[in-house]
């Protein structure tokens, strides 16, 4: 007749008790004697020296009833032996042992849902590993650990059967068979005792949900830890709305007989609403109390909110940390006036000792020089600790185009109470992009284009870009170098040179050739932490060639009035304010940029170009956020020049302006070719709703969004009309690649395209964003 698991445990315990009695009886049979020699019998893997290590007796000691019991107890407690007996041969002490078997191997079968490194680590923690000594209690620990992991993942019908196979040389092999069964799901969650808020409103606060129609739902898997977190969330929800005495007196979790469903019932006691009577500050008050009052959002007469009191404490802590108190602690203590249902909030301040920065360290920057990161610091060594300066330093590191993310940790210096080290851990991304393309066009022949961009050249933080295009009709070369720290004060310098030669092509065939050579020198001067001034100049020489019978009327009229060769001297100015948290894939802050470029008197053509760009990032619930960007550009001539050079016109359509329309095809067209000619005024706006992705990127390397674009180009401002603005909507997916840089794929549907518009639903844009 076979024994079940529980009967086996009871028999094992009885045998152990009987063996213990036998051991003691064998000890009592000894007459006291002086130990002359010590021998061990039954050893297989162990040496005599190992036994003597745990034996509290040595040669020359007196063996008595007490010392024999101590010896047996000590050898058993080592965990090495399944059986221990003491015997006497003359004045020799004989220790008869049976070693515990070693685990030769173990195998787990049927665990399809639970496994991997986490399971192996947890089993190792309970002692299940090859080479370890086998104990019967180990099987209970393994079974409990497997059950814990399965229960945590919603499998309450799991069955675990363990089998021990004895092997030669005192070894065992363990076979663990798991029958997982179906996943147990939450059938219903009930909340009773609620009066102030509806049940559905309260259930929305919980992460655990009952089973519904949503595919791949995981929120219906019961977890004791998650339930505890949900109860804390429920408590916070009430206490943030004045119910200071809210309580959860009981929680019942019931499992259906077939172990397929779980029913959760939460009983609540709401209490009454409390209002704030007043607040005060106690402890070591360092800051001015009027300043502290300004940081306090728990005003007299308002409904008590635990969230508001906690945030007030955090603001006071932040203010203290900005003047060196790195480990300041502020505890809001509610003092209840029960008869009047009011609360006085006592903010107890413990600033600690003022801390100074001993050292600032960096980690993870294998391709970037240390001084390149250090120059971004707003927290200085040997200065008092400032939380806002440390955080601003972290943001400045994260904004570097070759840094994917930056984290910071404040570490107290051992042996001191007023020194800390700051460690910034950065994760680098590929510093640039390489683009290369080969193609064939019936109008232009073979096409070859290549571009190399590196935003961290040789680890210096300098940006270098070289691009070249060549075909039967077009050749161009562009080279630029940007040093973001041309001076130690953070003034940047950009030097660029370019050469472009095109035949019959500028964006589309408009029947003229251009030959342009020139260069620019611009500087960026920081005015504040977020604002900088752009100033510089450029010089270029442009030659235009027309073709009778092929050139458009607009080109011919321009050449007749202005000639075919132009020298231009440009003044480049602008101002930018940038509060974004990152330059790639920003998720908060804004960017405002205003540029004004003027072809100054002395140039063959005098004109100006003004361009304004605004980007705004807005956080939304459920980890969504919106990105809104708008541009307004206007170019016009002044002085004796009556025409804007056609190569200075604005164009629209494409990935960066209005998606869903071919690049540069919106706006005025020439005559008689009917090709896009561009215009003086361009206005565009793009709005993206960024969608959280089920990938570990935190929107730093991968991003998906729904978008709406609107915009157009006009020959002159008077032509602008809202009705003529082209619109589109669609979906976009962007990700950062090590070779191509930022790659963006979009699919757009034009919403109000008209006859003659050139639409293009799917578009690719890559290498931008530097």
User: Does residue 521 carry a pLDDT above 80?
Assistant: yes
Task: Determine the pLDDT at residue 770.
Answer: 34
The per-residue pLDDT for 546 is 84
> Residue 323 above 50 pLDDT?
yes
Count CA atoms within 13 Å of residue 408 on its CB side: 20
Looking at residue 338, its pLDDT comes to 92
- Cβ partners under 8 Å of residue 650, min gap 6: 633, 635, 667, 678, 679, 680, 681, 682, 713
Residue bearing the bigger pLDDT, 533 or 140: 533
What is the spatial distance between Cα 257 and Cα 263, in angstroms, rounded to a whole number?
12
Q: What are phi and psi of 176, to 5 degrees?
A: -120, 115
Q: At what angle do helices 136-152 and 224-239 cross, to 10 degrees?
A: 50
Which carries the bigger pLDDT value, residue 129 or residue 747? Answer: 747
Q: Mean pLDDT lowest for which of 124-138, 161-175, 229-243?
A: 124-138
Closest CA relative to residue 373, chosen from 352, 402, 344:
402
Q: Which pair of structure tokens corresponds to residue 199?
A: 């049940």
Neighbours of 726 (CB within 10 A): 25
| CB-based contacts of 142, cutoff 8 Å, min separation 6 | 123, 126, 128, 162, 176
b/e burial code for range 629-657 (CB count within 10 A of at least 16 → b): bbbbbbbbbeeebeebbbbbbbbbbbbbb
Residue-level pLDDT at 13? 40
> Max alpha carbon distance in the chain (Å)?
131
Contact 427, 361 (CB under 8 A): no
Q: What is the pLDDT, as a whole number, of residue 439?
A: 44
| pLDDT tens readout for residues 365-383 | 998 999 999 999 999 999 9
Q: Evaluate whether 673 touches 656 at the Cβ level (below 8 Å).
A: no
Residue 369 contacts residue 375 (beta carbons within 8 Å) = no
Q: What does the alpha-carbon distance between residue 276 and residue 259 come to, in Å, rounded to a whole number?
A: 48
Q: Mean pLDDT, to the nearest integer, of 302-310?
A: 94
Specify the 3-state DSSP secondary structure of 546.
strand
Among 15-19, 335-339, 396-400, 585-589, the minimum mean pLDDT is found in 15-19
Average pLDDT, the chain: 85
Whether pLDDT at 480 is above 90: yes
Is the distance from CB of 220 to CB of 209 less than 8 angstroms? yes
Which tokens belong to 477?
A: 């070369």
pLDDT at 413 over 50: yes
pTM above 0.85, yes or no: no
What's the CA gap between 736 and 404, in Å, rounded?
Answer: 10
Q: Average the pLDDT over 342-353 and give the result.
A: 94
Does the pLDDT at position 689 exceed 90? yes
Q: What is the rounded average pLDDT of the residues 622-643?
A: 93
Joined tokens for residue 563: 């000639």
d(CA 39, CA 26): 17
Q: What residues pair up with 433 in beta bridges, in sequence order?
A: 453
Q: Which carries the bigger pLDDT value, residue 556 or residue 148?
A: 556
Is the Cα dihedral 396, 402, 408, 412 positive or negative?
Answer: negative
Q: What is the DSSP letter of 241?
A: T
**Which band of pLDDT confidence, cut at 50, 70 and 90, is reported for residue 693?**
confident
Span 410-416, average pLDDT: 92
Is 447 a residue whose pLDDT tops 60? Answer: no
For residue 754, give every residue at least 6 positions away whose Cβ sits within 8 Å of its Cβ, in sequence order, or none.
none
pLDDT at position 435: 57
Q: Which two tokens stand for residue 752?
A: 């109000």
Contacts of 478 (CB under 8 A, 6+ apart): 465, 466, 467, 468, 496, 497, 498, 499
CB distance 441 to 737 below 8 Å: no
Mean pLDDT of 487-507: 81
Point out the least confidently predicted range of 102-111, 267-276, 603-612, 677-686.
102-111
Q: Which tens digits make up the pLDDT trace of 3-24?
A: 444 444 444 444 343 444 444 4
- 660 pLDDT band, cuts 50/70/90, is very high
pLDDT at 107 over 90: no
Q: Taking residues 706-727, what's their average pLDDT?
A: 95
Q: Sheet holding 342-350: strands in order across?
A: 275-283, 342-350, 329-337
Helices (H), 583-651: none
Strands 185-192 and 247-255: unpaired
Region 749-760: mean pLDDT is: 92
Report d(CA 68, CA 76) in Å as an integer.
12
Would you state the pLDDT for residue 129? 75
Say how many Å lie between the first and final Cα of the chain, rounded: 78
* Least confidently predicted of 51-60, 198-207, 400-409: 51-60
Q: What is the pLDDT of residue 28?
A: 43
Q: Which of 17-31, 469-483, 611-625 comes out lowest in average pLDDT?
A: 17-31
């Amino acid at each position: 007749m076979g024994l079940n698991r529980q009967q086996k445990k009871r028999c094992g315990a009885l045998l152990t008790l009987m063996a213990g009695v036998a051991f003691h009886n064998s000890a009592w049979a000894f007459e006291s004697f002086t130990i002359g020699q010590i021998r061990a019998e039954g050893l297989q893997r162990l040496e005599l020296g190992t036994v003597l290590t745990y034996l509290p007796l040595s040669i020359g000691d007196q063996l008595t009833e007490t010392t024999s019991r101590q010896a047996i107890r000590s050898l058993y407690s080592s965990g090495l032996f399944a059986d221990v007996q003491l015997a006497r041969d003359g004045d020799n002490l004989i220790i008869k042992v049976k070693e515990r078997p070693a685990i030769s191997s173990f195998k787990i079968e049927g665990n399809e849902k639970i496994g991997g490194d986490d399971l192996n680590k947890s089993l190792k923690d309970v002692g299940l590993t090859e080479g370890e000594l086998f104990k019967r209690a180990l099987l209970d620990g393994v079974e409990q650990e497997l059950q814990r992991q399965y229960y945590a993942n919603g499998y309450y019908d799991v069955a675990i059967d363990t089998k021990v196979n004895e092997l030669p040389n005192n070894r065992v092999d363990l076979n663990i068979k798991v029958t997982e069964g179906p996943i147990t799901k939450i059938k219903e969650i009930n909340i009773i005792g609620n009066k102030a808020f509806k049940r559905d409103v309260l259930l929305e606060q919980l992460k655990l949900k009952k089973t519904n129609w949503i595919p791949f739902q995981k929120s219906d898997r019961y977890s004791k830890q998650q339930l505890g977190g949900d109860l804390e969330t429920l408590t916070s929800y009430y206490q943030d709305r004045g119910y200071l005495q809210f309580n959860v007196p009981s929680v019942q979790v019931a499992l259906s007989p077939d172990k397929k469903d779980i029913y959760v019932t939460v009983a609540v006691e709401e209490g009454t609403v409390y209002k704030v009577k007043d607040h005060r500050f106690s402890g070591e008050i360092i800051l001015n109390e009027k300043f502290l009052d300004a940081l306090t959002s728990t005003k007299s007469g308002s409904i008590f909110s635990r969230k508001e009191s906690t945030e007030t404490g955090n603001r006071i802590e932040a203010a203290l940390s900005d003047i060196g108190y790195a480990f300041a602690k502020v505890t809001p203590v509610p003092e209840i006036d029960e008869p009047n249902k009011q609360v006085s909030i006592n903010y107890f301040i413990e600033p600690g000792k003022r801390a100074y920065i001993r050292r600032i360290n960096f980690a993870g920057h294998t391709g970037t020089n240390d001084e390149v990161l250090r120059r971004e610091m707003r927290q200085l060594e040997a200065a008092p600790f400032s939380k806002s300066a440390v955080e601003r330093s972290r943001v400045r590191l994260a904004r570097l185009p070759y840094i994917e993310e930056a984290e910071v940790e404040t570490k107290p210096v051992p042996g001191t109470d007023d020194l800390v080290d700051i460690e910034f851990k950065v994760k680098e991304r590929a510093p640039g992009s390489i683009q290369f393309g080969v193609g064939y066009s019936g109008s232009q022949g073979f096409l070859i284009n290549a571009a190399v961009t590196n935003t961290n050249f040789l680890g210096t933080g300098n940006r270098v870009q070289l691009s070249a295009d060549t075909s039967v009709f077009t050749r161009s070369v562009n080279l630029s170098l940007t040093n973001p720290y041309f001076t130690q004060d953070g003034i940047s310098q950009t030097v660029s040179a370019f050469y472009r030669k095109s035949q019959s092509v500028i964006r589309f065939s408009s029947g003229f050739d251009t030959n342009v050579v020139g260069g620019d020198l611009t500087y960026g001067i920081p005015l504040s932490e977020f604002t900088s001034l752009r100033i510089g100049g450029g010089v270029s020489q442009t030659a235009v060639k027309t073709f009778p019978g092929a050139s458009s009327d607009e080109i011919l009229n321009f050449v007749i009035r202005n000639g075919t060769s132009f020298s231009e001297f440009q003044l480049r100015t602008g101002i930018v304010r940038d509060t974004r948290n990152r330059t790639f894939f920003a998720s908060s802050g804004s960017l405002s940029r205003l540029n004004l470029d003027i072809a100054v008197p002395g140039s063959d053509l005098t004109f100006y170009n003004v361009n304004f760009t605004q980007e705004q990032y807005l956080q939304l619930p459920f980890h969504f956020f919106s990105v809104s960007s708008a541009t307004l550009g206007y170019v016009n001539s002044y002085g004796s020049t009556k025409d804007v050079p056609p190569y200075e016109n604005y164009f629209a359509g494409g990935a960066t302006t209005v998606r869903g329309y071919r690049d540069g095809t919106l706006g005025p067209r020439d005559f008689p070719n009917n090709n896009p000619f561009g215009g003086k005024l361009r206005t565009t706006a793009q709005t993206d709703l960024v969608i959280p992705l089920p990938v570990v990127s935190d929107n730093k390397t991968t991003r998906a969004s729904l978008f709406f674009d609107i915009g157009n180009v006009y020959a002159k401002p008077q032509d602008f009309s809202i009705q003529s603005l082209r619109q589109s909507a669609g979906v976009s997916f962007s990700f950062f690649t090590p070779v191509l840089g930022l790659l963006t794929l979009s699919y757009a549907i034009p919403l109000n395209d008209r006859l003659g518009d050139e639409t293009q639903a799917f578009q690719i844009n890559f290498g931008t964003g530097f």
